[in-house]
Amino acid sequence: MSEETNGDIQITEVSEENKIKADEARDAANILFRAKKFEAATEKYTEAINLNPNVAAYYANRSFAYFKTEAYGYAVADAEKAVKIDPKYIKGYYRRAAANMALCKFKDARRDFRIVVKKAPGDKDAKDKLAECEKIIRKIEFEKAIEVDSPDKKLAKTLNVDSIVVEPSYDGPRIEDGKITKEFIEKAMEYFKNRKRIHRKYAYQIIIAVQKIMSETPSLVEITIPQDCKLTVCGDIHGQFYDLLNIFKINDLPSEKNMYLFNGDFVDRGSFSIEVILTLFAYKWLYPNSFYLTRGNHETDDMNKVYGFEGEVKAKFEESMFRYFSETFSSLPPAHLINQKILVVHGGLFSRDDVTLDDIRKIDRFDKKQLESDSLLRELLWSDPQLLPGRSPSKRGVGIQFGPDITENFLKRNNLDLLIRSHEVKENGYVIEHNGKCITVFSAPNYCDSMGNKGALINITPDLQLSYKTFEAVPHPDVRPMAYAAHFGGLF
């Protein structure tokens, strides 16, 4: 092969034989993609690109495969290569817009949707997505203009829940005298299961009670497992309420002795997020010292605007309720420490070597600016492990990727034995990496009704023995994932 430069694009001379082989690799990748084997498809698209790096469509196709595995940073990079090779290639701009939307880079996405609409004025789908993108940008700018940062002016302190009237026609479970009970939660779960909503008064009571508990909670929560108890760590649930019910079926309902830690990403994508979060919040209110919730990267405003939770709150209750959820999400701690030896976070580790548990304790999680920079909080929510030593830029475009040496050194520095995290789909529901020092657990089986993965949970005894349960997805009502994500549902 030889290369020549056309502007800032390198054109590689490719033999006819390699062009044919490249097309064959692309065709094989397309078959794998349609079979939802996205990682294998990525490898085949890479093979096509290595054989013939001059074809914009190869990069756009691999961009889409990366997108499906939530490697949005890689998806943006490939889409950019596609439009550099062929500035007239509309799909490249669309792929870049979609990946930037996934990263909540709304202005970058708007730029590309505008290009698509200009080049293809008859594309209604692109017009709808551009309109929705512009709507989100306007809303964010408005919310920033009226944002109240003073903790003394939190919404939860201004709502008079007692003034909300429960209509005589309401036949659902009730919270009496402002106290949550086991019976209320079990009745509420059955109510949710039958596609009914609890009264908004009780939803607000649950949200506000949990916000009060969490606002008094440190950023690093220390958990001690009593001798006659067990602690179950669950990963992402993502609005899959019927799978949450199955977890409680196979692993028993929460109690003071059957402790739970749900490790973030309770909402978004799945279209039963309200049912999930109200159930989890209710249990947190009932068992504040044996039921724990970690903040995930989807317990943030930007993600909720794109991936469906904000729309679901508006559809099932009212738009103003989302702001109460938002405040409560900001109060969730980003890390838990089990028996002084196991650190549990949603995403992963850090871009620096000197981070200590005290640094995590000092995180000001209530400061929204912490999520706009490469802060410890952002890295806790977003980072992922990698097989190779050292650190790499994140495949997601946010946070970092960290190798086994980074995990080993962090654990040694802080006198820890193990890191448990979630954040990534795993075929068997969990995976043990980094010489047994880093475990990923993911509890949303058949994620988004499309990935075919199992879910998993981890049972931990007082002497820190770990055992795993895996489970398949259970049936749910015929509501597609991202049903409340406005015009962006089709992107994901």
- 156 pLDDT exceeds 70? no
Q: Quickly state the pLDDT bin for 9 (edges 50, 70, 90).
A: low
Tokens coding 416? 């820890």
- Position 141 scores a pLDDT of 87
Tokens coding 482? 């991202």
- Position 2 scores a pLDDT of 47
Comparison of pLDDT for 150 and 264, the residue scoring more: 264
Are β-strands 9-12 and 391-393 bridged in parallel, bridged antiparallel, or unpaired? unpaired
Q: Which residues pair with 401 in a beta bridge?
A: 384, 392
- 97 pLDDT exceeds 90? yes
- Position 144 scores a pLDDT of 77
Q: Which residues pair with 55 in a beta bridge?
A: none
- Position 7 scores a pLDDT of 47
- 172 pLDDT exceeds 70? yes
Please identify, in words, the CATH class of the domain defined by 3-145: mainly alpha
Per-domain residue ranges for the chain? 3-145, 153-491
Global pTM value: 0.92
Tens of pLDDT, residue by residue over 100-110, are: 999 999 999 99
Give yes or no for a contact between 336 and 295, defined as CB atoms under 8 angstroms apart: no
Tens of pLDDT, residue by residue over 342-366, are: 999 999 999 999 999 999 999 999 8
Tens of pLDDT, residue by residue over 191-223, are: 999 999 999 999 999 999 999 999 999 999 999
Q: What is the side-by-side order of every strand in the sheet holding 455-460?
A: 291-293, 258-262, 230-234, 455-460, 466-471
Give yes or no for a contact between 442 and 425, defined as CB atoms under 8 angstroms apart: yes
Q: Show which residues are catalytic.
A: 298
* Cα torsion 15, 21, 24, 25: sign: negative
CATH superfamily of 153-491: Metallo-dependent phosphatases (3.60.21.10)
Of 146-150, 185-189, 225-229, 234-238, least confident by mean pLDDT is: 146-150
- Position 8 scores a pLDDT of 57
- 150 pLDDT exceeds 60? no
Give the mean model confidence (pLDDT) for residues 65-74: 94
Tens of pLDDT, residue by residue over 283-299, are: 999 999 999 999 999 99
- Position 369 scores a pLDDT of 77
- Position 371 scores a pLDDT of 82
Q: Determine the Cα–Cα distance for residues 414 and 437; give it in Å rounded to an integer.
A: 13
- 487 pLDDT exceeds 50? yes
Q: Quickly state the pLDDT bin for 277 (edges 50, 70, 90).
A: very high
- Position 149 scores a pLDDT of 52
Tens of pLDDT, residue by residue over 228-263, are: 999 999 999 999 999 999 999 999 999 999 999 999
> Helix axis angle, 106-119 relative to 124-146, nearest 10°?
150
User: First and final CA of the chain: distance in angstroms?
Assistant: 38
Are β-strands 430-433 and 438-441 bridged in parallel, bridged antiparallel, or unpaired? antiparallel
Percent of the chain scored above 70 by pLDDT? 95
> What integer best gives the mean pLDDT of the chain?
94
- Position 486 scores a pLDDT of 77
- Position 448 scores a pLDDT of 94
Integer angstrom CA distances of residue 353 from 117, 206, 262, 385 = 46, 40, 27, 15
- Position 153 scores a pLDDT of 56
Q: What are residue 6's phi and psi, to 5 degrees?
A: -120, 95
